[in-house]
Amino acid sequence: MDRKLDIQIKSDPLSVTNNYNFVLDENCGGIDMFIGTVRKWNKGQEITHLEFEAYEPMAIKELNKIATAAFEKFSVQNISIHHRVGKVELKEEAVIIAVSSIHRKASFEACHYIIDELKKHVPIWKKEFLLDGSYWVNSRP
Amino acid sequence: MKVFCFGMAKDITGLSTLDLDNESVSTVEELKNYLIAAYPEFEKYKSFMIAVNQSYANNDLVLNGTEEIAIIPPVSGG
């Protein structure tokens, strides 16, 4: 069974169907997905939208490293990771991760691992736009 | 030596690409010190990283000026 990997950074809206269809596999009995969406409130402040910036070639490389590690750590079949860049509106998907495996446990664990590692290492930056200004998340002194 | 700036680093420098004098910088650590001296606001963001040829670089990595270099502020994807 060849494993399949799909990593994309996109300025167009994401679609869960794309990730789902990529990982769907007749050899697998389970698919786990993590979908990160834009929420209206953060620490009591109202958010109007987000903007994401990526160092794209390095972000793709880092995501490849994470996926390679996930394939080694967990018995998973296919992985699909899409991250949005540019302006992202409330309720839109900022990131979608889908993982398929023969049994469910490996998919759950791999999906959890991938989003945690993505948030730690992948060179993508989120700017929150509030009613009265904007700031880069994690970059306040 | 060209240095790409992303996120908060672009706001601090006001530029998406810095063009630095190579002679004052020969390692990643020297580059970080140079940036803090040139843009004191970087002092507040001690956790910024440097990427060399699209990989995170250690402080002792030697730079010859031909690499692809980028300032990586704390990431916040996902």
Does the distance separating the beta carbons of A138 and B74 come in below 8 Å? yes
pLDDT per residue as tens digits for the range B3-37: 999 999 999 999 999 998 777 799 999 999 999 99
Q: Which residues contact A114 (CB under 8 A, 6 or more apart)?
A: A34, A66, A67, A70, A79, A81, A97, A99
Is A141 a residue whose pLDDT tops 60? no
The two three-digit tokens of residue B35, written as one number: 């940036």
Does the distance separating the beta carbons of B51 and A139 come in below 8 Å? no
**ipTM of the modeled complex:** 0.95
Q: List chain B residues with CB under 8 Å of A95.
A: 77-78
Nearest to B75 among A57, A94, A122 (CB): A122
| Amino acid at residue number A8 | Q
Q: How confident is the model at residue A138 (pLDDT cuts 50, 70, 90)?
A: confident
Q: How confident is the model at residue B40 (pLDDT cuts 50, 70, 90)?
A: very high
CATH of B2-72, one of 1.10.760.10, 3.20.20.140, 3.10.20.30, 3.20.20.70: 3.10.20.30
* Closest C-alpha to B7, from A130, A135, A88, A42: A135
pLDDT per residue as tens digits for the range A41-92: 998 999 999 999 999 999 999 999 999 999 999 999 999 999 999 999 999 9
pLDDT per residue as tens digits for the range A15-44: 999 999 999 999 999 999 999 999 999 989
Domains in chain B: boundaries: 2-72
Q: Is A58 helix (H, G, I), strand (E, B) or coil?
A: helix
Q: What are the structural domains, with CATH classification, of chain A?
A: 4-136 (3.90.1170.40)
| Chain A CA closest to residue B9 | A139
* Strand boundaries in chain A, DSSP class E: 4-10, 30-37, 41-42, 45-54, 76-84, 86-89, 93-101, 124-130, 133-136
Nearest to A139 among B55, B56, B74 (CB): B74
Is A140 a residue whose pLDDT tops 70? no
Determine contact: A49 vs chain B, CB below 8 A. Answer: no
Q: What is the pTM of this model?
A: 0.96
